[in-house]
Structures are given as structure tokens and as C-alpha cells.
Structure 1
């Protein structure tokens, strides 16, 4: 059994993955998780690590499933080939990606220097400059208080990006 690559139709990685798995193929779609600002606060989103590509495991020999059903699966554009040979991916690569899958760090929704507004508590409505994140939920912001800049630590969910 070897891992191969499939090129999917634009933004149809999940559709191709679901349809291939329903046909009994072993597939893997590595994803990257990141934080995004939503009206309800920060939410964790996921997107393919390699847009338009997913891994599929197919064996060789008489007992193996063929490529025919894969080519005609909804969401699949084509097989990735070098010449006439389907591209193979090393088992170690796929295993390493799977190990990192749960540990891929979510990216902060804010960058150093972003203008933000506090939308909760006694600082509600005050504008600030985002400095850095502290842990998973807290951030350091710079607020002007009493005519001087002051560092304040606050939950990131209570910040909203301006602009």
C-alpha cells in the first residue's frame, strides 16, 4: 500500500475526502487550524494545509482497488502523476503530518500593532494597540490612560479588530 496524491477541484477537498472514504479508500487531508474573529468572538477555523491536495492510500496487485473510481469521484480533479506514474508520498511524511495535525498552533487573530477596541467590562469602547498574546486566551494591549501608555492584560475574546 502506497500513499498517492490527488488534486481536487477548487475548495472541494472535503467533498472529495468524504466521497472517497465512502467508497472505502483510506484518505488523509492535513488541515491547519487558526483563530478568526466572528460576531460571537474568536472561533477556531480549519483549512487544508495543502489547498487542492489530499493523500490517498492505494495498494497494488490483484486485490487492490483500482484508480477508475477515484478519477470519477465528485470533487476529484485528477491524480498527481510524474509522466505516466502516479506520484507516491513516503509513509514517513504522512505519519509526520498526522503527528503534527493536532499540534498545529492556531494563529493569533491579531498582529502586533493592530488597532483594536475593547468590547467588554470597565474598558468597554476604548481603543488600544495590540501588543502580543499571552497563552491561549489572553493578550497584552497598550491603552492610553491618564495621558500615558499603559499595558493591560485582557481576554482576547473581548477584543475586536478595527478596520
Structure 2
């Protein structure tokens, strides 16, 4: 991030008031500002039910695109906005490639993940990491990229949180009854 230096539009970082990211986002859009609010979807238990929710990637912060000719005054008094983040006595710019990278990553993360297809009780095998090649049983997702599985380990059933990309569905074995 560097200080404001050009006449073209740049991305800047806004700090929001506590738990008012959405409020600030909506109020700034109503004022015709270009806003980027990176969010990821994750599974949460709300009132006893598992639900997919969008969570802010940077809680308490939004990105806004402005040029020197834009009217910056209303931003500070917009409901939900606390301040424009500054470094070296001026608003700090965020490089365009950083915003593009975040947009790409947020889009990738919002696509359905493998854990949506997993069912409790499904058998999985750990294919990477220190617990490879142990086998376990799927219990529940733990965010977007991890799952909780039950391993038979040290003569006990142990719940273990494992990265989703370290798991593989176990092929059902064929049992012949005579």
C-alpha cells in the first residue's frame, strides 16, 4: 500500500464501525460509490440448524474505488463507516492486482465444495499429511476448507479436524456373502 499519488481512480481501505460492514456497504452503494466487500461462504450452526452463510473476509473493512475528483466528504459521515485508513498522513491505496486476486479467490471459494456432498458416516481416507494413510468417518464440516472426522486411533475413537484437500472418499469394498 502506498500513499495517494495519481489522478486516476484507486482502491482504498475503509474501516467500518463494529459489526456494521453490511450497513456501510449498502449506504455507500446508495451514494453510487464503487465498493468491494470480499466475503466467503461457510457453514454455521444457527439456532440448532446448519446453514450456509456469507462471512466477511476482513471483518470491519471494505474497499472503495475513488479518484481525486470524487467527493470524499460524504464517506466519513456515512452510517457504518468509521474512517478511511491512512498511512503517512494520507489515504493508503490498495493495488489493483490485489483487488483482482481477492475477487478471484472469493469467487472460487463461493463455489460448492466437496464437503457439501459428504454425508455423516461416510468413510474417508487421509491421503496427505502426518495421519496418512489412516481411514476415518466424516462427522461434520469445519468451515470452508476443513472437516471433522472420527479416527480409530490409539484404541479409541478420536475426533480430528483435517484439511478437505487431504482426504479422499474410500472406495466401497465388495463383500461376498456365501
**TM-score interval for Structure 1 and Structure 2 normalised by the shorter chain:** 0.5 to 0.7
Number of residue-to-residue matches in the alignment = 121
- Residue number among 3, 24, 34 corresponding to 2:42 in the alignment: 34
CA contact (8 A) 1:37 1:43 kept: yes
User: Could you tell me how far apart the structure 2 residues matched to 1:75 and 1:153 are?
Assistant: 41
Q: CA RMSD in A?
A: 3.0
Q: Which residue of 1 aligns with 2:98?
A: 93
By how many angstroms is 1:19 displaced? 0.5
Is the partner of 1:66 in helix, strand or coil?
coil
By how many angstroms is 1:136 displaced? 2.1
CA contact (8 A) 1:137 1:155 kept: no
- Residue number among 71, 78, 82 corresponding to 1:73 in the alignment: 78
Say whether 1:9 aligns with 2:17: yes
User: Could you tell me how far apart the structure 2 residues matched to 1:152 and 1:83 are?
Assistant: 53
For residues 119-158 of structure 1, the aligned pairs below 5 Å read 135-139=115-119, 141=121
By how many angstroms is 1:46 displaced? 1.1
By how many angstroms is 1:81 displaced? 0.1
- Structure 2 unmatched runs, 5+: 1-8, 123-135, 142-178
Q: Which residue of 2 aligns with 1:125?
A: none
By how many angstroms is 1:135 displaced? 4.3
